[in-house]
Amino acid sequence: MTMPVLVCLHGWGGSGESFSELRKELSNKNIRILTPDLPGFGNEPEPERAWTTDDYVQWTENYIRKNVDGPFILLGHSHGGRISIKLAARHSLPIQHLILCAAAGIRHPRHFKRIVGLTLAKSGKFFLSIPGLSSLQPLGKKLLYKLVRVHDYEKASDSMRQTLIEVSREDLRPLLPLITQPTDIFWGTADGMTPYSDAKIMDREIPQSELHGYGGTRHAVHKDRAEEIAHFIADFLL
């Protein structure tokens, strides 16, 4: 009997190590787990130019074709979920089951808070450079970016900043009805990065889907609820 394969795609700013908790929970199961670093993260070099989601989808498809022979389970968290949605809708690979964990992909109007945040991120350097405030710059900058949730943007190189803009601007909602694979959606109801309302949209518009919501859990549902997700995968494989 061929060993089942689980391919896990991590979120923005993460790496294959993001799935260490899930890997641990599945360590006693007969399953092969692949957790590649996506380009620009972990040990994988940055692309030479800004990438779109389609670039990540193509890279992932090439990776899977080289490393997987036959049907497999695809799990994507956040940015990895965005890639997984497009890959599943493409129907170019034998995805046996799709698992979305706090997946990105539903585009929202740019809210006031984020506009203010990006403005502060740019003007904050000016205020922190005022004599007498310069000693607060490292701490103030860290708190500023954490407050407005643009720290990933601030830390990134120019090409990865543009990549973040490119992948974030695309709305994948029209692709959801095209996903025909059985799909399970795991989401924290306290997620402040990808709101729980996104999970409800995906559950409603993906034909064969089931939503698993966890009260008090935030964006790292793949880590904080690794035990529950692992039990689901194990039951599914029986």
Provide the CATH number for the domain around residue 231.
Answer: 3.40.50.1820
pLDDT higher at 164 or 202: 202
**Residues 221 and 117 grouped into a single domain:** no
pLDDT at 59 over 70: yes
From CA 76, how far away is CA 39, in angstroms rounded?
15
**Between 95 and 126, where is the model more confident?**
95
Please check the confidence at residue 30 and state whether its pLDDT lies above 50: yes
The residue to which tokens 């900043």 are assigned: 161
Q: Are residues 81 and 98 in the same domain?
A: yes
**For residues 19-33, average pLDDT:** 96
Average pLDDT score over residue span 203-223:
97
151-172 per-position pLDDT tens digit: 555 566 888 888 988 998 899 9
> How many structural domains is the chain composed of?
2
Note whether 87 and 195 are same-domain residues.
Answer: yes
State residue 185's pLDDT score: 98
Assess if residue 161 is contained within a domain. Answer: no
Q: Please tell me the pTM assigned to this model.
A: 0.84
Mean pLDDT for 79-91 is 98
- Tell me, what's the pLDDT at 236? 79
Q: Is the model's pLDDT at 115 over the cut of 80?
A: no
Residues 128 and 196 in one domain: no
Residue found by looking up tokens 């029209």 in the block: 174
Task: Report yes or no on 72 lying in a domain.
Answer: yes
Three-state SS at 77:
strand
Strands 32-34 and 95-101: unpaired
pLDDT recorded at residue 28? 93
Question: What pLDDT shows up at residue 95?
Answer: 98
What pLDDT is attached to residue 120?
45
Residues 53 and 147 in one domain: no
Only one residue has tokens 């005022």, namely 130
Same-domain status, 116 and 74: no
Residue 164 lies in a domain: no
Q: Let me know: does 68 contact 135? Beta carbons within 8 Å.
A: no
Q: Is residue 30 in some structural domain?
A: yes
Res 131: pLDDT: 52
Residue 89 has pLDDT above 80, yes or no: yes
Residue numbers of the domain that contains 131: 112-155
Q: How many whole angstroms separate alpha carbon 75 and alpha carbon 84?
A: 7
